[in-house]
Structure 1
Amino acid sequence: MLNYQNILLTIDFSGHDLFVAQKAQALAEQFHATLHILHVLDNIPMPDTPYGTVIPLSEDSAYELLENEKNKLVQISDQLNIAPSRRWLIWGEPQQEITQLAIQQQIDLIIVGSHDRHGLAVLMGSTAKDVLYHAECDVLAVHIKKPG
């Protein structure tokens, strides 16, 4: 059986991150793997900063939206005991940034949450599907069911 060494947990701050994170943490423990975490900023405008697309979590920013996103990532990472050197906050298109980081960090399993899609969302696709088709490593889509 394949033994994963580096697992990348992707989070979108949808409210289901803890459910997906617990599954990622359990797999990391089972395989004695290193857990990494990534949030891609695709829904807030990018301020004019010297950071480029990778946002250092140790830097302070006057940009309130960015600080809120950084704080959320730090909070989840702290709960999972993920070292700061394995936390990633990147501006860009999620599928592209996830697959590029996976290559750079020698990730062998990407974990994404997969939401139910209806209507136009089915036709337009999802990040989980796009990552599955473009990743060079295994991808685990954790199905997130709506309550009810």
Structure 2
Amino acid sequence: MTAYRHILLTADFSETGDTIAARAKSLARVFGAKMSLLRVLDDIPMPDTAYGTLIPVDTPSEYDLLEAERGKLIALGAELGVDQSDLWLIWGVPQDEIVRLAEAIAADLIVVGSHGRHGLALLLGSTANGVLHHTLCDLLAIRIPDAVEI
């Protein structure tokens, strides 16, 4: 098996994000791979911004929601030892932007979280499923357990 050289970790800043990040960091260490970190902004409104727009990580914004996301990405990157030049903020559809960036930076492994959907949710698809069917590189989907209701 050929070692992975460049791992792209997708960040959603959920409560399970630390587990996913730790596994990606462990893989990068085992393979001696470079790691890049991507946050696709699809859950905050972005005024006058077209999908597929790269948001500079090193340029502060006056937009509070964007600044919050930028700050979280920079903090996670620092925690994982990812160089700031390998941090990416992109406004768009997650599966599209993940696949596009992975190709652009020549990532050979993408790490995402997956809820393991069932029923109607499975039919509607997920980010992990969309990436799986469109990427040219390997994909590792870290299973995120669904919340247990009591």
Question: Do both share a fold (TM > 0.5)?
Answer: yes
- Could you tell me how far 1:119 is from its partner in structure 2? 5.2
- Could you tell me how far 1:125 is from its partner in structure 2? 0.8
User: 2: CA distance between counterparts of 1:61 and 1:27?
Assistant: 33
One-letter amino acid of the structure 2 residue matched with residue 67 of structure 1: E
Provide the aligned length of Structure 1 versus Structure 2.
Answer: 147
User: 1: CA distance between counterparts of 2:41 and 2:10?
Assistant: 12
User: 1: CA distance between counterparts of 2:121 and 2:12?
Assistant: 16
User: 2: CA distance between counterparts of 1:74 and 1:120?
Assistant: 36
Gaps of at least 5 residues in structure 2 are none
- Could you tell me how far 1:147 is from its partner in structure 2? 5.6
User: 1: CA distance between counterparts of 2:147 and 2:43?
Assistant: 25
Aligned Cα RMSD in Å? 1.7
User: 1: CA distance between counterparts of 2:117 and 2:13?
Assistant: 17
How many percent identity over aligned positions? 51
- Aligned partner of 1:90 in structure 2 is 90
- Aligned partner of 2:146 in structure 1 is 146
- Could you tell me how far 1:84 is from its partner in structure 2? 0.4
Aligned-partner SS, 2:82: coil
- Aligned partner of 1:101 in structure 2 is 101
Gaps of at least 5 residues in structure 1 are none
Aligned-partner SS, 1:29: helix
One-letter amino acid of the structure 2 residue matched with residue 62 of structure 1: E
User: 1: CA distance between counterparts of 2:106 and 2:57?
Assistant: 21
What TM-score do the two structures reach when normalised by structure 1? 0.93
- Aligned partner of 2:19 in structure 1 is 19
